[in-house]
A and B are shown apart, each in its own frame.
Chain A
């Protein structure tokens, strides 16, 4: 299983942008970068994923470094409901043994 490294915790003020980094220096060419978040007492929830190009959806943006060894999840305006643990996961859909393995994640605190 491919490895990712994230800061244990981050803080953000409400309504300000948040940049959550993830390092994945051993990423292979066929690994997709996925982000999930887990709110307290809930199951993980999909946020966004991408391969090489930056991606945007209604929840967030994903910025992927040109060498793909790191990526950043961007929440454009943090709300209190964004307080969660955010997980960066690598997955190669063509590799049966490469599944959704969770790293330690980043616990995001949003300050009112």
Chain B
């Protein structure tokens, strides 16, 4: 199994809603990533978890709250988002400290209304 599975594929939420994005992999990867991608722009790194601990937070607003409850699962909790937060949210995983590739999910297309 070489897949990174993201759910849901599409999400529409109001600015007062609370929602969560989910990412799952079963490749034994202990590094997991969240990226945000706006249209026609490259993915921007948001958070990195290494061995289930947050190792990088790229100054992301607190309305985005990541969580890594176990080595296979990564969540991104969303609260009080703004319309400019509408984007494709990508999850990725790899082996930390090993020369190997990253595997990306297909993303969650988020629209904030």
A residues whose Cβ falls under 8 Å from a Cβ of B: 32, 34, 36, 42-46, 49, 51, 85, 87, 93-94, 96-97, 99-105
- Contact-residue bracket for chain B: 20 to 34
Hey, which chain B residues are within 8 Å of A43, CB to CB? 4, 90, 92, 104-107
Interface hits, B71-86 → A, CB 8 Å: none
- A32 and B106 contact, CB distance less than 8 A: no
Partner of A100, one of B92, B98, B107: B92
Q: Is the CB of B104 within 8 A of A44?
A: yes
Query: B97, A94: Cβ atoms under 8 Å?
Result: yes
- Least Cβ–Cβ distance between A84 and chain B, in angstroms: 13
Q: Chain B residues with Cβ under 8 A from A105's Cβ? A: 42
A–B complex contacts, Cβ < 8 Å, 21 sampled: A34-B102, A36-B102, A43-B4, A43-B92, A43-B104, A44-B90, A49-B101, A87-B42, A93-B97, A96-B50, A96-B55, A96-B56, A99-B48, A100-B33, A100-B45, A100-B92, A101-B45, A102-B35, A102-B43, A102-B45, A103-B42
In the complex, the answer to whether B97 meets A100 with C-beta atoms within 8 Å is no
B42 x A102 contact (CB < 8 A): yes
Contact, CB under 8 Å: A44 / B43 = yes
A20, chain B: closest CB distance, angstroms:
15
Shortest C-beta distance, A45 to chain B (Å), equals 7
Chain B residues with Cβ under 8 A from A102's Cβ? Answer: 35, 42-45
Q: Quote the shortest CB–CB distance from B53 to chain A (angstroms).
A: 10
Taken together as a complex, chains A and B put the C-alpha atoms of A49 and B42 apart, in Å, by: 19
Residues of A within 8 A of B106 (CB): 42-43
